Structure 1
Amino acid sequence: MYTKFHRWYVLPLVGLLFVSIAAAAPPGATAQEPGYDIILRGGRVFDGAGNPWVLADVAISDGRIAAVGRLGEVTAEREIDVDGLYVMPGIIDVHSHANSGFDDEDPRARATINNLMQGITTVVIGENGSAWSNDSSIGDKAAEWSRNGIGTNAAMLVGIDSIRHQVIDGHDTTPTAEDLVEMGAIVREAMEGGAFGISSALDYWDGHFITTDEIIALAKEVAPFGGIYSSHIRSEGTRSLWWVESHASRRVTHLDAVKEIIEVGRAAEIPVHILHIKSTGIPFWGKSRAVTALIEKARADGIDVTADQYPYTFSNPDRTTELFKWEPYLGEAGRELERPQRMALIKDRMQDDPVFAAQVEKDVYHEILARGGADRMWVTRFEANPAYTGKTLEELAALRQESLFEVGKHLQLENAAKILSYTMIEDDIEHYLTRDYIAPATDGGVGAETHPRAFGTFPRVLRRYVIDKEVITLPFFVRKVTMLPASILGLDDRGMIKEGYRADIMVFNAGTIRDRATFEENIYSEGVEYLLVNGKLAIDDGQFTGALAGEVILRR
């Protein structure tokens, strides 16, 4: 099944008043019959609004929170003693790729257990690409997931890249006025079908063809529906991911990209959301304060700007940093080629053209700088010489007595080494965490080779930044992962422990909560003792129950 609702444009940021309830069964129950489906007894309950916890019971009936307070001798079919544990609304992950699991035939994949074990009960998917195919609709995808069963609730965005592919030929084509009219109609259809907004990924080669004016035109179609514009913005450091120093186009920095999305919000009069906000590369370390100053000035001016982040200093979901980028050197001609063919073309051109070779060398050094430096980039896989695995570029340059450029050529132009980079620093991560408009998020999917954030984002924030380092408080964290994302999306019955709200509830042990996943091994997080999704136990005593209790949430 799926849920439909009307957006509340303003969610009350006020404390939840827990009322002591007399020890009497709810209407319709007899003394011999259980009054509720489940009662969580004696937990330290956070309401989700940023208030301190209070000692209370939480009763659940028919998938909703039925009562909160001291419930006395009222009974339930299942009563769970949560004394000493923390009870909070289920986590809402505003940036997820869980659809890779939802589309799987395996029920365990559709459960996205890696999310459930973090306390996630709702995910938002659709960065740049819609979850449904061009020959179907959001309603078709909602019906499919509802029929097959999914582990968490799911909300969807419509991707601008998907919209473009339905109307224009080629990534490098600029839509005409007529094209934009047709694209706008597709946006409206998706919004009418229940999408929460539109999204883009401008940092990549495909995304750089999308202009600000095009985004504003499509965002204006979303605004009347109360939706949002969500974006992997055009740059997160010194340049766009595809860009190199020798390219003729203008460099776009992180600050430029933040200004662009603010302009979209201003021009289209729409809430805008920055995906996985970060400050990458040596020249942009420490720039988080300049970024948040821009955002906070915009918010003071009435532009609704929010963001999300993941708590790791390394990115690279494909587990590699490419020192030799095919896009600026080969353009669209390289799109259909395999990596060995692309590298061979670049290598041949370098041999034939000394000027080009010098440009590429300069580009590689810039990329090393943009990725955090040679001492923060290390080889994770190298079949030609496994002994290089685990060594940094700096160490390999000393070992081989070569320049960093020659080492890079050997690793990735002549071979296919995988390189991981620590592109961010803790100071910036911690600063972003302190902002009350930035929500932690996984940017994670499922699968054998995925970033540890897909398995550990939220427990990592709890353990490392709340409990151990005390960067933020526990009530502040709870609000950032529940009521804040609910307000970003306009969810009016999730994100709080409140009577009548959906029973998406997380119960965790502060003593054991922690992330365990690494790049070498996908390991579930620990510390979530119980997790209810729409009133059904998905995690019971720390173990997955097999329940596929998620619903597709369609915006109305």
Structure 2
Amino acid sequence: MSIRINNARIIDGSGKPSVPGGVRVENGLITHVGTDLPEADETIDAKGRVVCPGFIDTHSHSDLVVMEDPFILPKIRQGVTTEILGQDGVSMAPLPHRHIQAWRKNLGGLEGESDTLDWGWQTTGGYLDRLEQGGVGTNVCYLVPHGNVRMEAMGLDDRKAGPNELRLLQAVLRRELEAGAFGLSTGLIYPPCTYADKAEMEALCSVAAEFGRPLVIHQRSEADTILESMAEVLDIARSTGVHVHFSHFKICGKNNADKFERVLGLLDRAADEGLKVTIDQYPYVAGSTMLGAILPPWAHAGGTDRLLERLTDETARARMLRDIRQGINGWDNFVAFAGVDGIFVTSVRTEANRDAIGKTLVELGEMRGKPPLEAALDLLLQEENAVGMVDFYGLEEHVKAFMARPEMNVCTDGLLGGTPHPRTYGAFPRVLGKYVREEKVMSLEAAVRKMSGKPAETFGIDRRGLLKPGHHADVVLFDPDTVRDQGTYTDPRKHPTGIDLVMINGVIVHGDGATKNPTPPGKVLRPGE
């Protein structure tokens, strides 16, 4: 089957100026790009729209959902054709049998829950095989999650790794990278990753560097101690040679706005030194994660079951509340930088608490007749920690400045459950509509590069991210005059306007010509394939 797209404005993902022409696709590959394209079985008149490579979401949380529903429409409908899973150090594999129940509870706030899966894959290789067996709608890549590696090697306790455990951590990571992962991820605010010291990170990053794979990092602090946090990460890059990719880069808390120029200075210094440093970003001033992140790290030690025990203990609860109100040096205190009126509940496990969805912690407290933080702790206990949240963290001028940085590419960081953050449905069209067309933060060509060619280079994804003969036919057709996100924080489940066609490996999955209920056309990608 061959398809020809004519009369388009070609933006090829390289950053070069657009040119008129089109693209021809056959058997899942791009055969021609330009004008005077050969005949094809089907011709699509693009009528002056932009044709470009499919977008690559470098921070995705579709890891569990894709196993039950291969077509993640919130991603496909915004032009995403490849997703990078395994984020924040907390994901699906490795997962030894002995840890399944504890880990499912730890995972619930980020990836959701499932009672239909058997959870028996154990390793990254097993997980990727399972994805291939079930089929995937988009292409997917996987990062080895630090938390899973740590759990296999030394459990969920709050302690430092000894010499033998460091060697075991390295062995597990090496095994998982060899199975086809694109890098190592960590979330140093999430248990058990948060219990790792710099020596542990250096040991793991030395293995990632051996493979030429990146460290994808939610750093220890994006708030009060962001400068110290970045310094630690850049020191690790210097000592190990690892490529550092900062996840969802931002400065949290308006009280930290004075650190902005120094943050930029650290990025500039890294570039001057020749360190390989990249970042991704979602284009909003609010974030989204699991509500359990408002608790101090010690509360999570030993896993979710131990957390739930502490939430029932009056002394432990009092300590949690005291630490939230007073803070702990080096800990990102979401309540301090977003406020109880700037944190919204987005998802829960049970029907009993469904009325909490969409409510701030202030409103939750009013509904439950308790102070906001007490009500939040009760909710975490009742829902066994599987609660999502949106938190308003920062300043619009910072979003624009980081977006324009040469290190930056676009991501969604989209959680799919409950009432999600609007980025899940609209991050990429928001950049094209709000920040390119309306606010002119960058050119259209630069934006498309940050959505396609640049992330493909950053993660070493072969033959994707560019419109080029011989590359895989991941293609998007959009209207630059109408493309825009539509979701809001109160009504986020709205698909964008202006994304007219999405093609994955030569199969149209959205737009005119899309086949109803096709075989999932995505591929499970591995480095070098």
TM-score tier by shorter-chain length is 0.7 to 0.9
Number of the residue aligned with 1:403: none
For the aligned residue pairs, the C-alpha RMSD in angstroms reads 3.4
The residue type equivalent to 2:33 in the other structure is: V
1:345 aligns with 2:305: no
Q: Which residue of 2 aligns with 1:291?
A: 263
2:252 maps to what in 1?
Answer: 280
Q: Which one-letter code corresponds to 2:93 in the other structure? A: W
Rounded Cα–Cα distance in structure 2 between residues aligned with 1:477 and 1:182: 42
Partner residue in 2 for 1:436? 406
Find the partner of 1:114 among 74, 88, 98. Answer: 74
* Aligned residue among 216, 220, 223 for 1:230: 216
8 A contact 2:324–2:333 mirrored in 1:
no
Contact in 1 for aligned 2:289/2:389 (Cα 8 Å): no
Q: Does 1:263 align with 2:235?
A: yes
Aligned partners of 1:463 and 1:513 also within 8 Å: yes
Written as runs of structure 1 = structure 2, the 5 A alignment for 1:12-31 is: none
What whole-Å deviation, never above 9, does each CA across 1:510-550 have from its counterpart, x for those lacking one? 23312222344422223211111111111123977433110
Which SS does the other structure have where 2:165 is aligned?
A: helix
Q: 1:71 to 1:232 in 2, by over 3 A?
A: same
Q: Do 1:60 and 1:67's aligned partners in 2 also have CA atoms closer than 8 Å?
A: yes
**Counterpart selection for 1:475 from 404, 420, 445:** 445
Alpha-carbon offset, residue 322 of structure 1 = 7.2
Match of residue 155 from structure 2: 169
The one-letter amino acid of 1:126's match is G
Structure 1 or 2: larger helix share?
A: 2
Corresponding residue of 1:19: none
Instruction: Show the counterpart of 2:86.
Output: 126
Partners of 1:331 and 1:149 lie apart in 2 by 35
* 2:434 is the counterpart of 1:464: yes
Partner AA of 1:302 in structure 2: G
The DSSP-based 3-state class of the residue aligned with 1:500 is coil
Per the TM alignment, residue 349 of structure 1 is displaced from its structure 2 partner at its CA by 6.8
How far does residue 290 in structure 1 lie from its aligned partner after superposition?
2.2
TM-score, normalised with respect to structure 2: 0.82
2:63, 2:389 → 1: CA distance? 27
Aligned to 2:56: 92
- Give, in whole Å, the separation in 2 of the partners of 1:461 and 1:273: 20
Aligned residue for 2:114? none
Match of 1:423? 393
Q: What are structure 1's unaligned runs of at least 5 residues?
A: 1-35, 239-252, 401-405
Alignment of 1:167-206 (within 5 A): 167-206=153-192
Q: Who is 1:43 aligned against?
A: 8
Whether the 8 Å contact between 1:289 and 1:431 is mirrored in structure 2 is: no
Match of 2:280 among 300, 308, 330: 308
The answer to whether the 8 Å contact 2:347/2:417 transfers is no
Tell me the distance in 2 between the aligned counterparts of 1:301 and 1:222.
20
Higher mean C-alpha deviation, range 411-420 or range 272-281: 411-420
Contact kept? 2:463, 2:470, Cα under 8 Å: yes
Cα deviation for residue 272 of structure 1 reads 0.9
Structure 1 residue aligned with 2:496: 525
User: Separation in 2 of the partners of 1:175 and 1:505?
Assistant: 46
Q: Name the structure 2 match of 1:103.
A: 67
> Structure 2: how far apart are the matches of 1:453 and 1:268?
34
* Percent of residue pairs identical: 28
Q: Are 2:310 and 2:316, in contact at CA under 8 Å, matched by a contact in 1?
A: no
Partner of 1:146: 132
Query: Aligned partners of 1:472, 1:103: CA distance in 2, in Å?
Result: 37
Alignment of 1:477-516 (within 5 A): 477-516=447-486
Structure 2 residue aligned with 1:539: 510
TM-score normalised to the size of structure 1? Answer: 0.79
- How many Å apart are 1:133 and its aligned residue? 4.0
Structure 2 gaps, min length 5: 97-121, 381-386
Contact persistence 2:3–2:24 (CA under 8 A):
yes
Contact kept? 2:180, 2:526, Cα under 8 Å: yes
Q: How much does 1:312 deviate?
A: 1.4
SS in 2 for 1:371: helix
Deviation at 1:137, TM superposition (A): 3.2
Match of 1:83 among 37, 47, 51: 47
2:25 is matched with which residue: 60, 65, 82?
60
